Structure 1
Amino acid sequence: MSKPWWKIPLLNRSGVIRLAILSIILLIVIFGAWFLMIRMPGESYHGELPPLTQKEVTLQNALQQDVEKLAGEIGRRNYLYYDGLIAATDFLERELSQAGYKVKRQGYEIDNQTYYNLEVEIIGTEKPQEIVVVGGHYDSVYTSPAANDNGTGAAATLELARLFAGKQPARTLRFVEFVNEEPPFFQTDDMGSLVYAKQCRDRKENIVAMLSLETMGYYSNKIGSQQYPFPLDRIYPLQGNFIGFIGNLGSRKLVHNVVASFRRHAKFPSEGATLPHKIPGVGWSDQWAFWQQGYPGVMVTDTAPFRYPYYHTDEDTPDKVDYERLARVVAGLEQVITELAGNKVR
């Protein structure tokens, strides 16, 4: 006589064991993913922001002047507004020259128009063959004046170059203003940072770190102001009041070093992650170009479309940028770059 259906075990003993093993494996995978991709050294700053130092006030004013020049006076600057793009090129080159640098123009042609990456370099005193690259793109998207994306990154690159002028880093330092990050060149062979990174690889240069400064100037303490692609929305803060450091899985060590350094020296909220580059947003800037050439790279960002309501619109104007908090971030990056360059922060 057979057993009634309600008395038949759902799983036999071997099935229970297999289910337990699978559960353990799943937990290990989840913990491993958290440990490898999400867990960062140090602690993000919490609490009221301290008053700006006099140096940070000066930096705030300089950043605002730069962004207003690029996104206010010059405005649209890309392949459709080529005169504006060249005006931005000339402005950045002039300012870098006045800071004491010899500026290298890396020009290349697309449809009978020439586009320029701008590079300045400080040769390392102890490890000149090891190179740290800091850069941001200065072109705009379509008809946007592009104050935050990416006037802030271009201005931050310029101001950091000024801060390091005359210093003697152990490693070689390069500051690069990249062209043609935005569509239709985004993640194509004509993307300025990819043209640059390929040339570095062709010369067999040893780039040990690349910081991509991308859309860095919008912050909000409002709950719900920060969005994420799933499943990151279950992990990270819902207030868009932090600066993010994002790398691919191959850049994990660099991301950890950068986050740890920033948290040691900057009293400003920060989050970091090393994620597969296929996740939306992870590869959406110039660090992607360096990943393609096997170099480690980190994007420094306010997370752009996941926070900034004016992303890629005509409303991305200089008045939307929080220059005080941008100055705090750039001041923190100065210390990060000092350590990446092999020097001690004083």
Structure 2
Amino acid sequence: MQIVNKSALIRLAILFAVLLILAAWAGLTMFWMPEHSYNGKLQPLQNEEIALQTSLKRDIQKIADEIGVRNVSQYEKLNAAKTFLETALTQAGYEVKLQEYQIDNKLYYNLEVERLGTEKPNEIVLVGGHYDSAFTSPGANDNGTGVVATLELARIFAQKSTKRTVRFVEFTNEEPPFFWTENMGSLVYAQRSRRNQENIVAMLSLETMGYFSDAVGSQKYPFPINLFYPNQGNFIAFIGDINSGDLVRQAIKSFRRHAQFPSEGVSLPSWIPGVGWSDQWAFWQQEYKGIMITDTAPYRFPFYHTEEDTPDKIDFDKLTRVVAGLAEVISDLAK
């Protein structure tokens, strides 16, 4: 009897040790992030940030108010958004490259601009957001914020030199009915990049970035993520799959060093709901590392995919701080 008990105890001890090792691995791999999230008082915007805020507001008004609903059901408005972005990027000094593809006899476009790296031009840091909106939504936050943030960051880097190439892409057709299908704009783009053997070392997907709340309970998560993160939706999130964990940690470390704004990061299995809900998913399919920068969309934003997703719901002060911080992140990644 004593031998049986001792054997059982040994098995339990081994099981407990294995569970501890797995828990430690999960903590280090998925949840541990370098530096610390900022939790102090937000400082007044500087002059350059005030100018950035003004530009973000102007571009959101154009995308969400003047153009509004823009997708396959509002094809002319989708093309109006494409024309606006193409013109703005051209005015910023870029040569805009259009990736054209066809669905049901209609043409759709991804827009690409880049600054070639001075030392490692074949290593590409890619920043992108999708310019279509969902259903009958004017898409101010989803994804007006992401698409104008991509535009503003392109403007910031238009005259900057970086060692790696920095590329900015405005994607079409992220929303249903094209989401996670062969006609999703970012997947069409990522597949071409893989065929061309492009060395995309980091992909940043800017997705639904402008809604924040200090109210307790304003932030939701799928279980068990809710056990590890705050329930106030006042932070920006950096999210990647397990393979992109190093990129998540590198990006959030840079953000926390440069930006005085709350941030949270996580690297999770791609099957967890929400982890792959944007254009970074397309790059994962082509074995590129990619992350999403987001306010967590439906896990916080009550007007997600509705007609009430309008510019008045966006906190432009906080969005400005996020975009300014991301400019520093991109600079660090492109070193």
TM range (shorter): over 0.9
Equivalent position of 1:272 in the other structure: 265
Find the partner of 1:184 among 138, 154, 177. 177
Letter in 2 for 1:57: I
Structure 1 residue 87 corresponds to structure 2 residue 65: no
How far apart, CA to CA, are the structure 1 residues paired with 2:301 and 2:333? 29
The match for 1:205 among 187, 198, 203 is: 198
Q: 5+ unaligned residues in a row in structure 2: which ranges?
A: none
Partner of 1:260: 253
Cα separation, 1, equivalents of 2:115 and 2:41: 36
Q: Deviations over 1:18-61 (max 9, x none)?
A: 11221121121112101110000100001211111111111111
The CA deviation at 1:248 is 0.6
Indicate the structure (1 or 2) with the bigger Cα radius of gyration.
Answer: 1
Cα distance in 1 between the residues matched to 2:247 and 2:68: 34
Which of the numbers 312, 324, 328 marks the counterpart of 1:319? Answer: 312
In 2: Cα distance, 1:105 partner to 1:23 partner: 56
Matched AA of 1:128: P
Q: Which deviates further from its counterpart, 233-242 or 27-36?
A: 27-36
Unmatched runs of 5 consecutive residues or more in structure 1: 1-7
Instruction: Give the equivalent residue in structure 2 for 1:4.
Output: none
CA offsets, 1:202-224, max 9 Å, x none? 00010000000000000001111
TM-score normalised by length of structure 2: 0.98
Aligned residue number for residue 174 of structure 1: 167
Question: For 1:98 and 1:32, how far apart are their aligned partners in 2?
Answer: 48
TM-score (norm 1): 0.95
**Structure 1: distance between partners of 2:116 and 2:14:** 55
Match of 2:61 in 1: 68
Return the alpha-carbon distance in structure 2 between the equivalents of residues 97 and 205 of structure 1. Answer: 24
Distance 2:258 2:286 in 1: 31
Question: Out of 118, 132, 138, which is 1:139 matched to?
Answer: 132
1:226-259 deviation digits (Å, cap 9, x = unpaired):
0000000010011100000001111111111101
CA-CA distance at 1:16 after TM superposition: 1.8
Question: Where in structure 2 are the equivalents of 1:189-338 lying within 5 Å?
Answer: 189-338=182-331
Shift, 1:165, TM fit = 0.7
RMSD value over aligned CA atoms?
Answer: 1.0
Code of the aligned partner of 1:21: I
| Residue of 15, 30, 33 corresponding to 2:26 | 33
**Partner of 2:251: helix, strand, or coil?**
helix
Separation of aligned partners in 1, 2:20 and 2:218: 31
Which one-letter code corresponds to 2:210 in the other structure?
A: G
Aligned to 1:5: none
Partner SS, residue 253 of structure 1 = helix
Moved over 3 A (4+): none
Q: In the alignment, which residue of structure 2 is the partner of 1:43?
A: 36
**What SS is found at the alignment partner of 2:21?**
helix
Mapped partners of 1:17, 1:122: distance in 2: 60
Partner of 2:70: 77
Question: How far off is 1:13 after superposition?
Answer: 2.1
State the number of aligned residues. Answer: 334
Q: CA deviation at 1:12?
A: 1.9
